[in-house]
Amino acid sequence: MYKKLLLSSLIIGVTLTASAQVTLDSCRHMALRNNKQMGIEQLKIEQASYQRKQAQAAYKPSIDFAGTYMHMGRNVSLVDIDNITPTQFLNPATGNYDFVIDAASGIGVSIEGSKVNAVTQKVKDALTFDTHNIFAAGILVTQPIYMGGKIKALNQITKYAEEIAQLLHDRKAEDVIYGVDQAYWLVVSLKAKEKLAESYLQLVTNLDNDVKKMLEQGVTTRAVLLSVDVKVNEANVALTKVRNGLVLSRMALAQLCGEPLDEPMILADEGRTDLDVGLYPTHIDMAQVYDRRNDFNALELGVKVFDEKAKVARSEMLPTVAAVGSVFASNPHVYNGFKKEFGFNYVIGAMVKIPIWHWGGLSNKYKAALVDAKIKRLEMEEAKEKIELQVTQANFKYQEAYKTYEMTKANLAQADENLRVAQLAFREGMSTSDEVLTAQTAWLKAHSEKIDAEIDVMMCDVYLSKVTGRMNY
């Protein structure tokens, strides 16, 4: 039973250790998911999508409601009381002109001045309306018919802007991945150097023990022992520095991945002695590079955006036509004697605007927009040249790093053999401790250079894939 429990514990421990290891792809995904800048770029894509939908809405009719209330200090009167005079009629019976004809008898009746004033006041009151409180409301419908091409150009601009936002999002993702790869391979490098420092410390410690035994036997001097002790101390200091750097590099990688800094990330490539280093072809098709580069594609779309902006400027010099319709109401009722009630009406029409003369303002605005488009084209051509130079330099650096890696492998084999011979000669009494220390130092340098060259090839490969647009994530 004890053996079964022990075996189960070992299996569980191995499973947990394997599951705790983090691959490079896992680090990339965590970084892309938790990076704040990636979140900002994603929001910019969402914003560009809303702007594109906003531009599409310009094709459809717009419906607006407007309402107003006004309080007026005085009422509206259609007549002036001083200009109101009673109507005179010819009286056949008397042959005179009277002011009023009696409705019952049809006989003209003369009215005194005070009565004339009373009648006049009644006419004044009848033609005066209560307009102290005025309410008005209406619904306006506007349908663009021809806007000089502005609506179509704005729709194209927002479409290109959304595509540019997506390209910049992908470009930012490549930058994040490149930073994660740098941090990842730095941890792998420092972990390998930690093992190397431990091995070197073991070598000088073994030599120190051998020299101590020789000193006890009287076949060496204390000065030799002190020189070896110095190397032991240097090896301990170097190991401490490597371990501290490893801890800090793990924290930096955890921060990029959005993981807690106090939980060390164990990487899947830490225990590997040889990484998958391969040589890629030296020839690179620049036409394919331009097609794959997100930033260059964004520049091409930027040129198209400025071409459309020139069309927007040109549209201001062209006629515009729109159909309008409105249903509105007012209180007092202006169509029925200003009664205190709502009166309704509608209007249907068309609106045409034709620019005639603006002292060259509109044409100069259009010419300035054309110049902006030309500037963007020149910037794109300049970026094209810089990209070609960047790719050439990255490819050259990668080829150089790979050659350096091949040489370090050859130097490593020679350093291992020199160390073996020096140790054997020292045990046989045919060499001194200084010669062994020299061989150990050369061995340490060769292994360290091999680790650096190996990581440098990996980083050059990542950078080359980034500048050529073939980075996969």
Q: Where are the domains of the chain?
A: 21-60+147-318+355-467, 79-126
- Phi, psi for 240 (deg, rounded to 5): -65, -45
The pLDDT, as a whole number, for residue 1 is 35
The pLDDT, as a whole number, for residue 300 is 95
The pLDDT, as a whole number, for residue 4 is 37
Size (the chain), residues: 473
- 3-state SS of 111-174 is CCHHHHHHHHHHHHHHCEECCCEEEEEEEEEEEEEECCCHHHHHHHHHHHHHHHHHHHHHHHHH
The C-alpha atoms of residue 167 and residue 45 are separated, in whole angstroms, by 9
Which sign, positive or negative, has the C-alpha torsion 304, 308, 314, 318? Answer: positive
From first to last of its 473 residues, what are the pLDDT tens digits of the chain?
A: 333 333 333 333 333 344 458 999 999 999 999 999 999 999 999 999 999 999 999 999 999 999 998 888 877 776 665 555 555 555 566 655 555 545 555 544 454 445 555 555 666 666 777 777 888 899 999 999 999 999 999 999 999 999 999 999 999 999 999 999 999 999 999 999 999 999 999 999 998 898 888 888 887 788 888 988 999 999 999 999 999 999 999 999 999 999 998 887 899 988 777 776 766 666 889 999 999 999 999 999 999 999 999 999 999 999 999 999 999 888 887 777 777 888 888 999 999 999 999 999 999 999 999 999 999 999 999 999 999 999 999 999 999 999 999 999 889 989 999 999 998 998 888 878 888 899 999 999 999 999 999 999 999 999 999 999 988 76
Helix H segments across 21-35? 24-34
The pLDDT, as a whole number, for residue 336 is 74
The pLDDT, as a whole number, for residue 81 is 57
Answer whether 0.75 is exceeded by the pTM. Answer: yes
**CA angle at 292 for the pair 287 and 297, rounded to the nearest 5°:** 95
The pLDDT, as a whole number, for residue 14 is 37
The pLDDT, as a whole number, for residue 294 is 93
Distances (CA, A) of 228 to 73, 143, 225, 437: 108, 93, 5, 8
CATH classification code of 21-60+147-318+355-467: 1.20.1600.10
**Are 240 and 278 within 8 A, CB to CB?**
no
The pLDDT, as a whole number, for residue 222 is 87
Residue 244 CA, distance from chain mean position:
36
DSSP 210-271: HHHHHHHTTSS-HHHHHHHHHHHHHHHHHHHHHHHHHHHHHHHHHHHHT--TTSPPEETTTT
Residue 320 CA, distance from chain mean position:
36
